[in-house]
Amino acid sequence: MKGSWRRTVTGAAVLFVSISVFITVTVLVYAAATQKYGDNTAAISIIMLICVAFFALTCTVIDILRRRMSTEKPLKDIAEATARIAEGDFGVRLEINKPRSRFNEFDCIKENINAMAQALAGSRATGEQFIANAGHELKTPVAVIQSYASALCSDKLSDEEKIEYARTIAQTSRRMAATINNILKLNKLENGKILQSPENFSLDENVAESILTFEDAIDKKQIELTCDIEEISAKGYPEYLSTVWSNLISNAVKFCGEGGHINISLKRQGGDAAFTITDDGCGIPADAGKKIFDKFWQGDTSHSSEGNGLGLAMVKKVVDILGGEIKVESRLGKGTTFTVIINIDGAKAKANG
């Protein structure tokens, strides 16, 4: 660093000048003592001893103060801060009272410690929020299952009621299992658990298979589906891309009204492929912003029983890992368009997480 080099040169220059001054003064004192005391060696020796001792003491004091301010104090502050961080106190911040152009190595370490503490604080807050949300999501279906299971033990229910209660328990169990499965998938993604080697596959077939999964749901809501899918050979991770397509198609079907319209396209863009899905559903509120990719966030609570708020979080994580880009455009009451751009030769994928 330029600042470090300049400080080294400045320090060496100060030391050189100081020693030169001390030597010069010592020589002058010796000359004055010789002139005054002549051949009195004992007197001259005592004077020179006092002179040298004074300069040595001065240098020692200056060096102690210099080391205390430039080395010992920063090291003590750093040691105390890292000890507090090790104990779980991520609110610690080290003061750096100088412009960045004058930073030394200790200042750089302090800056890194502050950044680390801030990141750890954010991770803990995110983890606590994640646990709270996961607990809430699992608490509700567990309560439903317990309630309906207890009711099934009663002799007061008719056979039709028992069948309906059992059906509710089965549906709730499936939803809870899906939530747990999505939590585990998202955890793997966030910990960099991704296929180590990309494979050659047909991207258009990968998308088509995901579309076919929702054929019954599309027919049930009488949704008009139009597709414009170009044949594209790709190298990458089809399993993870299926998660992206499935979640985006699921959202489009879920928020599209009866007799609505969904359009899906897949086009080559140079070395990339662009997947676009548009629905004419309820749209996303303008104030939602980037919240739609947050874990457990659900903008339309009227559909909360149909999902767990983890789908788009997984989509965003997969796209990030694959080095792609996802964009969303939406108008409330008009519909939503998601666009995913991915590299088709797997070159941008972060294979190690």
Average the pLDDT over each of 17-26, 33-42, 182-191, 268-277 and give the range with the smallest value.
182-191
Indicate the average pLDDT of the chain: 80
User: What Å distances lie between residue 175 and 69, 209, 308, CA to CA?
Assistant: 61, 23, 8
pLDDT tens for 145-193 read 888 888 888 777 888 888 888 888 888 887 777 767 767 766 666 666 5
Cα dihedral 163, 167, 170, 171 in deg (nearest 10): -170
Angstrom distance (rounded) from CA 325 to CA 319: 6
pLDDT tens for 85-120 read 898 888 889 888 878 777 878 888 888 999 999 888
Q: Is pLDDT above 80 for 350?
A: no
Question: How confident is residue 279, by pLDDT bands cut at 50, 70 and 90?
Answer: very high
Q: Is pLDDT above 80 for 195?
A: no
Q: Which residue stretches of 102-234 are H helix? A: 105-152, 159-190, 203-213, 215-220
Angstrom distance (rounded) from CA 287 to CA 21: 70
Q: Is pLDDT above 60 for 82?
A: yes
Angstrom distance (rounded) from CA 258 to CA 278: 15
pLDDT of residue 342: 92
Helix-helix angle 159-190:311-321, to 10 degrees:
20
Angstrom distance (rounded) from CA 240 to CA 235: 12
pLDDT tens for 32-49 read 888 888 778 888 888 888
Angstrom distance (rounded) from CA 325 to CA 190: 17
pLDDT of residue 239: 83
pLDDT of residue 248: 92
Most confident of the following: 254-268, 302-316, 339-353: 254-268
pLDDT of residue 351: 47
Burial class (CB in 10 A: 0-12, 13-18, 19+), 61: exposed
CA-nearest of 347, 349, 344 to 323 is: 349
pLDDT of residue 98: 78
Angstrom distance (rounded) from CA 56 to CA 62: 10
Identity (one letter) of the amino acid at 279? D
pLDDT tens for 307-323 read 445 778 888 888 888 88
pLDDT of residue 197: 77
CA-nearest of 285, 284, 269 to 338 is: 284
